[in-house]
Structure 1
Amino acid sequence: MFTGFTLDHIDVGDVVLRVRHGGEGPPVLLLHGHPRTHVTWHAVAERLAPFHTVVCPDMRGYGQSGKPEPADDHSPHSKRAVAADGAELMRLLGHERFAVMGHDRGGPAALRLALDHPERVAALALGDTVPISEHLRRCDERFATAWWHWFFFAQPDKPERAILADPAAWYGGTPEHMGPEAWDDYQKAIHDPAVVRGMLEDYRAGLTVDRAHEDADRAAGRRVDCPLLVMWSTEDDLLELYPDLDAIWREWSAGEPRMVPIHSGHHMAEEAPGEVAGALRAFFTEVGWV
């Protein structure tokens, strides 16, 4: 797993990030989703490494990265904080300008990076995500039924108690498509109470401070200035909830987003790594990030 990559723990300010980095060429930052760690990217990263310098951190609150103390306004776990971590991490590794890919909860963090640090982000790729504010603005009984966990995770204390009673049953997954090392890393993470709390704080920030930041972006007319690739898993439910996915992202992009289906379930980096890496390579080639 991560053949030829270096494992580091890098202080980016108020947290230390566990990060793997390797390869050569124009840099790419990969941000994972919930409840994964950076190892979800291992098969994608190895495919990109001959063409790109690939950087894969555990986001703050997740895996073996730092766990800030929760705050009443949830700002220590905001996507703005995650984006600032990513920008500083890439600077410390010598990358002033880079592409970023975010999947699931990493998607809003990657979007925030492109909006808060436009001079740093050369290209933005997103998987299985729409802006948090779009979810909440359009929320109806279908969304509340299918993605009920967003609102359960926002409750104090009870989600931690429910999940930690049996994390393996709660989160599921199988070692067959993750690989044994990735599976072991994932299991250690979801059984760690500090990680579970950090992951839930991510969702609590989403319903509060993250939404406020995105609403401010919309009011100010801020949009993604760099090229944008949007991928979705064909066996997941995102397109069922948002058949106008392309229209949503047109509202957030100054250009025309590239829309690419990935033939997999939700965890596309594990289930279809070749397809994900191929879509990223084609996108980066098209926009000149080579």
Structure 2
Amino acid sequence: MFDDSRLEHVDLGDVTLRVRHGGSGPPVVLLHGHPRTHTTWHRVAPRLARRHVVVTPDLRGYGGSTLPPDAPGHAQSSKRAMAGDVVRLMGRLGHERFAVAGHDRGSLVAFRTAMDHPEAVTHLIVMDGLPVIEHLERTDAVFARAWWHWWFMGQTDKPAERVINADPDAWYRTPGPAEIGAENHADLWRALRNPAVVHGMCEDYRAGLGIDREHDAADRAAGRRVACPALLLESAHDDLDIHGDPAAIWAPWVAGPFAHRIVDSGHHQAEQAPEEVADRIGDFLAAHPRSAPSPGGAARNVEPGSPPPGRRLP
């Protein structure tokens, strides 16, 4: 499924991440979205690995990665915690500075990694995602109807896990093995039938409705923005534009060079348009060579509740 790559389980202390990595060149980490695992990148990673070290982990709580016990405010599933995983993982693999790309929920983790760890992130690529606060502040009847699973999975009084685990095959509808690859399909369904993974995914959404929004709000109030070059990849046949122009919504969050490109696919870009996705990411990375590290040296982990070291602008 992945050419010349290594599959490992890396112990980071509070979590163990399942990760696949290979290739040579400047490193880039690819972060999947809900409800996928790292294998969603199986058609993209080998193409990028011709010029890059490519690292594809399962996010904490997803796939074969673990999740710590539930914490107040669902902090264990915050994007800040997941971003810390990314930086620690890349450090363990010998990469202090790297590009990060994320799709769907993974785009939220990629964004938070760039915001909290500007010394580490050289490039940011977001695919079909916006900062959580931008979605929540624009919520209306149209958004609630189209993205209703946000509210369903975010419930705690009547946990969604009971409904999903009762019949995961009815809840999750995915393309077949011929469309997304037999091994990717099998890996995805092993995860979807695992109650621990279903809980991890629900906790991701619960964090999104609360603590993740708080972190975004604090960044905006402090004038912090993404310092590195950023690329938005928007699916042509999805609804990221439900709030209007996604690039216009992203622009105030980015201080460095910013590009917006449309990918001819539905929501799951890496599975439906892998060549175009790999080309878009590769061209973007080549167009913006890695700059010198920001003042402050190596990447720093940011503890939940502490002010992140993101770049401040007037």
TM-score (norm 1): 0.98
Q: Is the 8 A contact 2:228 2:257 kept in 1?
A: no
Label 1:44 to 1:8 Cα distance change in 2 as closer, same or farther (>3 A). same
Structure 1 CA distance, aligned partners of 2:70 and 2:41?
Answer: 27
What is the Cα deviation at residue 247 of structure 1?
1.1
Name the structure 1 match of 2:76.
76
What is the Cα deviation at residue 70 of structure 1?
1.4
The amino acid across from 1:286 in the alignment is A
Residues 28-72 of structure 1, C-alpha deviations (whole Å, 9 max, x = no match): 011100000000011100110110000000000001101211123
Q: Is the 8 A contact 2:43 2:270 kept in 1?
A: yes
What is the Cα deviation at residue 176 of structure 1?
2.2
What is the Cα deviation at residue 245 of structure 1?
1.1
Aligned length: 289
Name the structure 1 match of 2:294.
none
Residues 58-94 of structure 1, C-alpha deviations (whole Å, 9 max, x = no match): 0000011012111231000000000000000000000
Equivalence map 1:49-198=2 (5 Å): 49-156=49-156, 157-174=158-175, 175-198=177-200
What is the Cα deviation at residue 127 of structure 1?
0.2
The amino acid across from 1:263 in the alignment is D
Structure 2 CA distance, aligned partners of 1:246 and 1:101?
Answer: 16
| Consecutive unaligned residues in structure 1, runs of 5 or more | none
Q: 1:63 is paired with a residue of what secondary structure? A: coil
The amino acid across from 2:245 in the alignment is D
Task: Give runs of ≥4 in structure 1 deviating > 3 Å.
Answer: none
Q: 1:19 is paired with a residue of what secondary structure? A: strand
Name the structure 1 match of 2:281.
280
Q: 1:69 is paired with a residue of what secondary structure? A: coil
Name the structure 1 match of 2:311.
none
Residues 125-168 of structure 1, C-alpha deviations (whole Å, 9 max, x = no match): 00000000000011111111110111111112431111112212
Q: Tell me how large the CA RMSD over aligned residues is.
A: 1.1
What is the Cα deviation at residue 256 of structure 1?
4.0
Name the structure 2 match of 1:17.
17
Q: Is the 8 A contact 1:249 1:257 kept in 2?
A: no
Structure 2 CA distance, aligned partners of 1:272 and 1:88?
Answer: 30
What is the Cα deviation at residue 195 of structure 1?
0.1
Q: Is the 8 A contact 1:19 1:57 kept in 2?
A: yes
Name the structure 1 match of 2:26.
26
| Consecutive unaligned residues in structure 2, runs of 5 or more | 292-314
The amino acid across from 1:32 in the alignment is H
Structure number with higher helix proportion? 1
Question: Which stretch shows the higher mean deviation, 158-167 or 31-40?
Answer: 158-167
